[in-house]
């Protein structure tokens, strides 16, 4: 594929993603309302984003008469996840949900969950898990790759055929973002071979220690002719405009991010960022619950439960900023209709 063709393809994908879907990704109705009185467990990591999925699970549980138990773990300390999974079994759950911890960390618990006729669902990782005692969720390589392509498409569209250098901000300790970075690299390289990408990779301890903005500012000062700062995750760079301003770099760079929260969306509206990609985490909790319901009712899991509904958010379509930007906005009513409870 020529550079022009690759650019056109990426730009078209980004433009298409600016149009919001009006339907949830799950379309298969239940044959009857779910049985009441079941329990699921949500394991919440130390990152703020984790809580939105739990909010969705709790809202969905309320709609069907189920209970959600919440336990905490630290993504930076895998032993805390294993301990939480062991504790969760005490509640006799249908399933347990969490995000961002590789299967190698919790594989030891799968046999116990299989024996208990329960399942583990881990979302947002490099690859879908396999084996007994688990059920794949969403946010794996296909979704991550799509986001990386969209980030590149946004940049290419804005550059309008003019070669431009960029910084790519990533935290590869979160394996889910590795595929996003690779897709961004490959798309830009194919569409603009003369565009230089400088990687700014931080560790999870550096991120949690508040070192990301200073590292990005330093890299921006060192790299030549940078026009775009692209982050695989919006929450990483929500405060970057202020850090750039403090360094005397206001208006020098255009910021593009994936999985943006309300702060990133406000930056887009104010003009201190170019665009972001939504992060439909609360609706993801409803998708988790849909999986749990269908497991209890011995029904197949629809493909839509394994999809992250992704959209590009620009100044023209954001509307009201939301930490979890869920599309469509009436997703809860649509799920309730499928479940015959609304």
Specify whether the CB–CB gap between 45 and 62 falls below 8 A.
no
Does the pLDDT of residue 299 top 80, yes or no?
A: yes
Q: Do domains 3-18+142-277 and 39-139+281-305+328-339 have the same CATH topology?
A: yes
DSSP state of 114: H
Q: Which residues pair with 44 in a beta bridge?
A: 72
Domain spans, the chain:
3-18+142-277, 39-139+281-305+328-339
Share of the chain above pLDDT 70, in %: 99
> 192-246 pLDDT, tens per residue?
999 999 999 999 899 989 999 999 999 999 998 999 999 999 989 999 999 999 9
Q: Cα–Cα distance between 235 and 255 in angstroms, integer?
A: 12
| Tokens representing residue 3 in the block | 């550079």
Residue 312: HSE in the Cβ half-sphere, 13 Å Cα cutoff: 27
DSSP state of 77: B
CB atoms within 10 A of CB 161: 11
Does the pLDDT of residue 1 top 70, yes or no?
A: no
Q: Cα–Cα distance between 101 and 173 in angstroms, integer?
A: 10
User: Is the Cα torsion angle 308, 314, 319, 323 positive or negative in sign?
Assistant: positive
Specify whether the CB–CB gap between 201 and 171 falls below 8 A.
yes
**Is the bond leading into 320 cis (omega within 30 degrees of zero)?**
no
User: Is the Cα torsion angle 234, 237, 240, 242 positive or negative in sign?
Assistant: positive
CATH number of 39-139+281-305+328-339: 3.40.50.2300
β-pairing, 226-231 with 197-201? unpaired
Q: Which residues pair with 41 in a beta bridge?
A: 69, 96
Fold that domain 3-18+142-277 belongs to in CATH: Rossmann fold (3.40.50)
DSSP E strands: which ranges in 191-295? 197-201, 226-231, 254-257, 275-277
SS3 96: strand
The pLDDT of 41-55, averaged and rounded, is 88
Does the pLDDT of residue 335 top 90, yes or no?
A: yes
Q: How confident is the model at residue 297 (pLDDT cuts 50, 70, 90)?
A: very high
SS3 97: strand
């Amino acid at each position: 594929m020529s550079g022009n063709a690759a650019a056109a393809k990426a730009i078209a994908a980004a433009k298409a993603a600016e149009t919001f879907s009006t339907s949830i990704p799950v379309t298969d109705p239940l044959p009857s309302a779910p049985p009441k009185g079941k329990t699921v467990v949500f394991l919440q990591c130390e990152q703020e984003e984790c809580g939105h999925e739990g909010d969705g699970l709790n809202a969905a549980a309320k709609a069907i008469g189920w209970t959600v138990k919440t336990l905490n773990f630290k993504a930076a300390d895998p032993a805390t996840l294993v301990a939480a999974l062991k504790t969760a079994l005490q509640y006799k759950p249908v399933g347990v949900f969490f995000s961002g911890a590789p299967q190698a960390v919790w594989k030891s618990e799968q046999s116990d969950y299989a024996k208990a006729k329960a399942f583990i669902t881990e979302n947002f990782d490099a690859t879908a898990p396999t084996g007994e005692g688990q059920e794949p969720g969403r946010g794996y390589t296909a979704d991550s790759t799509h986001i990386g392509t969209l980030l590149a498409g946004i940049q290419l569209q804005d550059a309008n055929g003019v070669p431009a250098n960029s910084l790519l901000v990533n935290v590869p300790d979160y394996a889910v973002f590795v595929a996003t970075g690779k897709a961004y690299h490959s798309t830009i390289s194919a569409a603009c071979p003369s565009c230089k990408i400088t990687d700014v990779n931080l560790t999870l301890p550096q991120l949690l220690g508040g070192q990301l903005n200073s590292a990005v500012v330093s890299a921006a000062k060192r790299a030549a002719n940078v026009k775009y700062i692209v982050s695989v995750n919006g929450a990483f760079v929500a405060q970057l405009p202020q850090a750039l301003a403090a360094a005397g770099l206001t208006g020098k760079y255009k910021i593009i991010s994936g999985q943006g929260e309300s702060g990133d969306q406000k930056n887009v509206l104010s003009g201190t960022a170019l665009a972001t990609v939504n992060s439909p985490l609360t609706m993801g909790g409803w998708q988790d619950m849909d999986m749990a319901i269908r497991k209890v009712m011995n029904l197949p899991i629809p493909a839509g439960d394994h999809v992250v509904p992704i959209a590009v958010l620009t100044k023209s379509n954001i509307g009201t900023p939301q930490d979890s930007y869920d599309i469509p906005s009436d997703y809860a009513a649509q799920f309730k209709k499928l479940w015959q409870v609304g």
